[in-house]
């Protein structure tokens, strides 16, 4: 230690000059780096391949589930439409013809009243199918407001009637209405069969 200043002891060794690598060490480091890069790249490729396969499997499962749902929906719809078709055909074959026959008399009276109000008609001739005579005749005896003559015509259907007034003729054709309803329902089911076929 000298006077006037403090001298500190040095603990560190003198810095060493950087060691130069030898050719063998350099090649080894490059090989290790290349091996690491190759392993890293292969790891990413494996992960990407596994992800793609997983997505493909999920897509296939989803596709099968949608196909099953679609099949179930179409089967249920087809069964429901088949049941409805049988019900509608029963209504068209059994219920509506009876309803048409039952409503023919009241409809004739309604038309007569409307004609009397509109044209002041004084008489009417009503022509119906022979099977409707027993249904219509009792209605006209007590309800008609003008003289009525009832006639039968074998060519008329059960839902048809012709009303002849002095100045006009009116045709009631409930059979055509019934046929129109039948055509619409049959057309609907034919369209469904075409779509599904």
Inside any domain, residue 146:
yes
Identify which of 175, 162, 172, 173 has the alpha carbon closest to the alpha carbon of residue 96.
175
Max intra-chain CA distance, the chain: 158
- The C-alpha angle with vertex 155 and arms to 152 and 160, in degrees rounded to 5, equals 70
Identify which of 38, 41, 21 has the alpha carbon closest to the alpha carbon of residue 29.
21
pTM of the model: 0.51
**Total domains, the chain:** 1
Inside any domain, residue 32:
no
Inside any domain, residue 182:
yes
Position 127 scores a pLDDT of: 93
What pLDDT tens digit does each residue of the chain (197 aa) get? Answer: 455 567 777 666 555 655 555 556 778 878 888 888 888 888 888 888 888 888 888 888 888 887 777 677 777 777 787 778 777 777 777 777 777 767 777 888 888 788 777 777 678 899 999 998 888 888 777 666 677 889 999 999 888 999 998 878 888 888 888 888 888 888 888 877 777 66
Tell me, rounded to whole angstroms, the distance of Cα 163 from its chain centroid: 45
Position 24 scores a pLDDT of: 65
Domain hosting residue 191, numbered range: 103-196
Inside any domain, residue 139:
yes
Q: Report the CATH number at residue 183.
A: 3.30.2320
Scored b (16 or more CB within 10 A) or e, 52-87 reads: eeeeeeeeeeeeeeeeeeeeeeeeeeeeebeeeeee
Residues 6+ apart with CB under 8 A from 97: 158, 159, 178
């Amino acid at each position: 230690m000298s006077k006037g200043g403090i001298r500190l002891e040095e603990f560190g060794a003198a810095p060493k000059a950087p060691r130069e690598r030898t050719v063998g060490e350099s090649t080894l480091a490059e090989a290790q780096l290349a091996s690491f890069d190759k392993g890293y790249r292969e790891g990413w490729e494996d992960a990407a391949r596994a992800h793609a396969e997983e997505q493909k499997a999920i897509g296939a499962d989803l596709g099968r589930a949608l196909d099953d749902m679609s099949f179930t929906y179409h089967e249920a719809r087809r069964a429901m439409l088949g049941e409805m078709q049988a019900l509608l055909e029963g209504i068209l074959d059994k219920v509506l013809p009876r309803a048409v026959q039952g409503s023919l008399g009241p409809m004739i009276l309604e038309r007569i009243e409307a004609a009397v109000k509109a044209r002041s008609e004084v008489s009417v001739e009503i022509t119906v199918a022979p099977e409707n005579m027993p249904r219509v005749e009792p209605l006209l005896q007590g309800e008609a407001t003008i003289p009525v003559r009832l006639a039968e015509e074998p060519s008329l259907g059960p839902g048809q009637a012709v009303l002849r007034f002095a100045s006009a003729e009116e045709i009631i054709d409930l059979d055509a209405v019934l046929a129109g309803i039948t055509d619409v329902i049959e057309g609907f089911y034919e369209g469904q069969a075409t779509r599904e076929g």
